[in-house]
Amino acid sequence: MKFSLINANPNCDIDDREGEKSIAAFPPLGLLYLASVLKKEDFEVSILDQPAQGLSLIETLNWIKRENPDVVGFSTLTSSGRNAALISEKAKENNPNLIVVFGNHHATFNASRILRKYPSVDIIVRGEGEKTIVKLANCLENNRNLEDVRGISFRENREVISTPDQTLIEDLDSLPFPERNLIDVDYHCIIAGANVAPKKFTSISSSRGCAYGCRFCSCAKLAMNKWRYRSANSTLDELQILANDGYKQLIFVDDSFTMNPKRVKQICKGIKKEKMDIEWICEGRVDNCSYDMLRDMVTAGCKVLYFGIENANQRILHYYNKQITPRQSEKAVKKARKAGIDVIIGSFVLGAPDETREEIQNTIKFSNRIPIDLPQYNILGAHPGNDIWSEFVSKGFIDPDKYWESGIAVCDVYPEAKVSREEIMRFMHDGFFKRIANPTFLIDQAAKTMKSSFRFNIIVKNIIRLNQIRKLVEKVV
């Protein structure tokens, strides 16, 4: 039995215009892991990364024809779900016997709605997929009852059947490494329009899930509010393979790489001991970043650190269930700066239900005062899977039948919102350009760049992209 796995284009590219290659894409690790466990069980697998390979709808359908799989599986997010459904519909017109499987966040939290709306989708894999996909593959190959497979939803006699949830993989070290050789793509990491990973780049996962449950995020719920991690030795074994294969830059896609400081130190020690020539990016929590750990990360090649700061108002942080304080954020950023992290990024979420103009301005001022290199402003959104969505649906503020495929900004539907989307966008725009027009900020950034070969190389490599960067920054803020 053959499986073809697809990472679909965003919904904005749902028409059949020429595919536009996205150099911002990361390798689709979820699909690569599924490929590795399927190949281990002797199933044939191929993978297509539609946005990274720049393929149009017709080109994608032609690829499916050439591969001629028995099963085509899609990794779906809110941003790509409708496009995946369109591809599956057209693919089934060409091959009515094709079995279509959806997975990942969008499919997990909208299983029944997808199966009811899209006849072309046969099966939903809910939650973590490796255990389920192997059992499903064996079930399909041997024509066994789908109800024997945990963690799936499917139609039977026009009714949606959902089997009990699949159990999580407790021993992540037991998983084979991702099958990166199945995709021949030159991946890069784009931040604010700039390519910060111009060398040979990939992604790696050393842990899964999150134990904190921020209300605007669905990652913790997908992983049943548990954080699981690979051992330092397993992570180092994969890093060594990547280094030997010529990878020079990578990103840890963990929701919180720094969750276990002892493990972080072990990984950093191993990188240095084996003299791996790699630079890396990761995300950390502000409440568990010691200076010593940050120094270990720097000396092991960490160049970019992403902090989820989210807001400068404790009241809003409580609403988000973020479980940090602005003071912790400021201290963590200063420690990271002192430790020598080359680029520090802070994420901020604006537009909580009753957030005031003064509170939004306070957050933007805070983002400009603390020594981060780049603030990333986001407008609070509600989408299936996060607690904000559940709250707003239960209160009647959101019609789930209207927004389940797209999500919606809270400020667009909350009847007592104190600040409109347009005002929030203006605050973000003004705050960002006030920051980059500040002579002190510019001098500080120039001084850091002169001392950092990593930052200097980013500038050199992105000179030809300056116009693209300018357009993207103007669009985002």
DSSP letters spanning 75-134? E--TTTHHHHHHHHHHHHHH-TT-EEEEEHHHHHHTHHHHHHH-TT--EEE-S--HHHHH
Q: What is the pLDDT of residue 16?
A: 46
Burial class (CB in 10 A: 0-12, 13-18, 19+), 394: exposed
Task: Identify the pLDDT of residue 159.
Answer: 96
The predicted structure's pLDDT at residue 17:
43
What is the phi-psi region of residue 317: left when phi exceeds 0, alpha when psi lies from -120 to 50, beta otherwise? alpha
pLDDT per residue over 342-398, tens digit each?
999 999 999 999 999 999 999 999 999 999 999 999 999 999 999 999 999 999 999
Q: Residue 398 and residue 349: Cα distance in Å, rounded?
A: 20
Residue stretches of the chain with pLDDT short of 70: 12-25, 192, 463-477
Q: Which fold has domain 188-476?
A: pyruvate-formate lyase- activating enzyme (3.80.30)
Class of domain 2-162 (CATH, top level): alpha beta
Separation CA 186–CA 199 (nearest Å): 9
For 433-443, what is each residue's pLDDT tens digit?
888 888 988 89
pLDDT at 279: 98
Report how far residue 72's alpha carbon sits from residue 140's, in angstroms, rounded to the nearest whole number.
13
How many Cβ atoms are within 10 Å of 267's Cβ, its own excluded? 25
- How far apart (Å, rounded) are the C-alpha atoms in residues 455 and 462? 11
Please report how the helices 261-273 and 232-244 are oriented relative to each other, as an axis angle in degrees rounded to 10: 40
Any idea what the Cα angle at residue 52 is, between residues 50 and 58, rounded to 5°?
30
Contact predicate 115/18, CB 8 Å = no
Beta bridge partners of 102: 74, 124
**HEC readout, 356-377:** CHHHHHHHHHHHHHCCCCEEEE
Report strand pairing: 201-204 vs 374-379.
Answer: unpaired
Q: How far apart are CA 349 and CA 409, in angstroms?
A: 11
The two three-digit tokens of residue 329, written as one number: 């954020």
Structure tokens at 273: 């001991």
pLDDT value at residue 431: 92
Q: Which residue, among 173, 180, 199, has the nearest Cα to 188 in the 3D structure?
A: 199
| Residue ranges per structural domain of the chain | 2-162, 188-476
99-103 and 190-191 strand pairing: unpaired
Rounded Cα–Cα distance for residues 248 and 100 (Å) = 36
Locate 157 and state its tokens. 């006699």
Helix, coil or strand: residue 246: coil
